[in-house]
Amino acid sequence: MTKVAQQNRKDSADVIPIRTDHDADPLAHFRGEDEPASPAAQTAPARRVVSKTVWAGITAGVALVLVVAAIVVYARQRAVAMASVAKPAASERARLNSRPEGAAVTVDGVARGVTPLELTLPPGPHDVVLRNDAGERRLIVNVERGTVVSENVDMPAALTSGQLDVTSDPSGARVTVDGNAAGRTPLKVRSLTPGRHTVVVAEGTSSVNRSVDVTAGTTVSMFISLATSTAGPTGMVAFDSPLELRLLEDGHLLGLSNGSPLVLSPGKHRLDLVNEALEMRLSRTVTIEGGKTTRVAVPPPNGTVFVNATPWAEISVDGQSIGTTPLGNIPVAVGSHEIVWRHPQFGEKRRTVVVSAQTPARLSMDMGR
C-alpha cells in the first residue's frame, strides 16, 4: 500500500461523524459530541404528555358540570310543571247545596251563610240546619280528614197562603174580611194572602173590628165575644211592645200587639201575650172602662247569652261593651241583637243573634279565620 493511501485511511478513521437526529435534540448541531443536552430539551416530551392529561381532565370536568346543571334545571322545570297540573286535593271541606237555593245555613249553632255554600270545618260530626221561609232541614255532616263532603238537601216547598179560623159568642155572627163577606161563625177562611187583614164580626147592632196578620202555611184562630156588647159601652186596650205578641183570652186569639187596639167589654180581662218563636209567654190583667182606651207597656224580658272567642276578644252588644271572653250567663233582652268581637291583632267581627226567653244563646268566634 502506498503511503498516500495509508495516510488517507488514517485521516478517515479520525473524522467525527455529524448527528442528524433533529427531532431528538434540535440544538445538537450546535453542540459538541460530548456536550450534554439542555434540561428543557430533556423534559419537553414529559411536558407535552402532562399538558394533554391536564386538558383532558379539565374538559371532562366541565362536561360533567354542564350535565349536572342541565339535570338540575330539568328537574326544577318538571316539578313546576307537575305542581301547576296536579294541585293538591282540598281537605276537611263541606259543600252544602239546597233546592231551591238561598237557604240560611247554621253549623253547630253559628250562622255561616246561604246555599250554595262551601266551608272549611274541623274533622268530626257537625250539626247543620238549613232554613227557608217554608221550614227547615236538620242533618249531621261528618267531616273526615283529607276529604270533601258534599250534601244536597231538598227544602220544604214554599206555601203561598194562610188560613183564618173565626169563632164567636154567640155563634152565627156575620164575618167580613177586608170588606168582603166571608160567611158566618164558626168559619174557616182559606187561601188568604200573607199580610195584614181587617176582620169584622157583627151580630145585629153589635160589631167588633180586628186586624190580624196572616203568614203563609199557618192558621190564625180568632174568638170574638159579642154577648156583652149590648150591656154598655165598650172600651179598648192597646199594648206597647217592641216585639210582636199574640193576644189571647181563654185560649182565643183576639189580635196582635202591633195591630189596632182591642175592643173589649168593661171589666177585668186576663190576657196572655205570646211569641212562640222567642219562647215568650206573659200574662197581664187589664181593667177596661167603657168609652176609654187603656194602654199597657210590655218591656221584653231578659234571656241569657254565652260568648267565647279564640284566642280571646272584647265583646259588645248593640254597641255597649260587656267584657272580655269567655262570658257566660249575660242577661240580654229577648229579641234581635248585634254582637261584636274585637281583638287588637285580628280585628273586628260581627254577628246578629236572636235571644229567646228560655234557651240560652251560645256563640263562639275564631278570630284567626
- The answer to whether residue 32 sits within a structural domain is no
Please tell me the distance from the alpha carbon of residue 182 to that of residue 347, in angstroms, as a whole number: 59
Q: What is the pLDDT of residue 162?
A: 84
Q: What is the pLDDT of residue 88?
A: 40
307 and 289, same domain (yes or no): no
Q: What is the pLDDT of residue 9?
A: 52
Domain limit, last residue, from 154, 183, 203: 154
148 and 171, same domain (yes or no): no
Q: What is the pLDDT of residue 101?
A: 86
Q: What is the pLDDT of residue 272?
A: 93
Instruction: Tell me which residue has cell 163577606.
Output: 181
What average pLDDT values come out for the chain (369 residues) when binned by 10 residues?
Answer: 49 48 47 50 52 71 77 76 48 83 89 89 89 84 85 78 85 90 90 87 82 78 68 76 89 79 83 92 90 90 94 94 94 94 93 93 90
Please tell me the distance from the alpha carbon of residue 186 to that of residue 189, in angstroms, as a whole number: 10
Q: What is the pLDDT of residue 61?
A: 75
Q: Any idea what DSSP says for residue 36?
A: P
Question: In the chain, how many domains are there?
Answer: 4
209 and 309, same domain (yes or no): no
146 and 173, same domain (yes or no): no
Domain limit, last residue, from 297, 329, 358: 297
| Nearest C-alpha neighbor of 139 from the set 121, 123, 119, 154 | 154
Domain limit, last residue, from 86, 106, 138: 86
- The answer to whether residue 323 sits within a structural domain is yes
291 and 187, same domain (yes or no): yes
Q: What is the pLDDT of residue 82?
A: 63
293 and 307, same domain (yes or no): no
C-alpha cell at 148: 270533601
Q: What is the pLDDT of residue 86?
A: 42
Amino acid letter, 83: A
pTM of the predicted protein model: 0.47
Domain extent, residue 278, equals 162-297
- Determine the 3-state secondary structure of 198 from DSSP: strand
Strands 293-297 and 235-240: parallel
Q: Is the peptide bond before 186 cis (omega within 30 degrees of 0)?
A: yes
230 and 326, same domain (yes or no): no
Q: What is the CATH number of the domain that holds 106?
A: 2.60.40.1120
Residues with Cβ < 8 Å from 163, sequence gap 6 or more? 188, 189, 190, 191, 192, 214, 218, 219, 220
74 and 124, same domain (yes or no): no
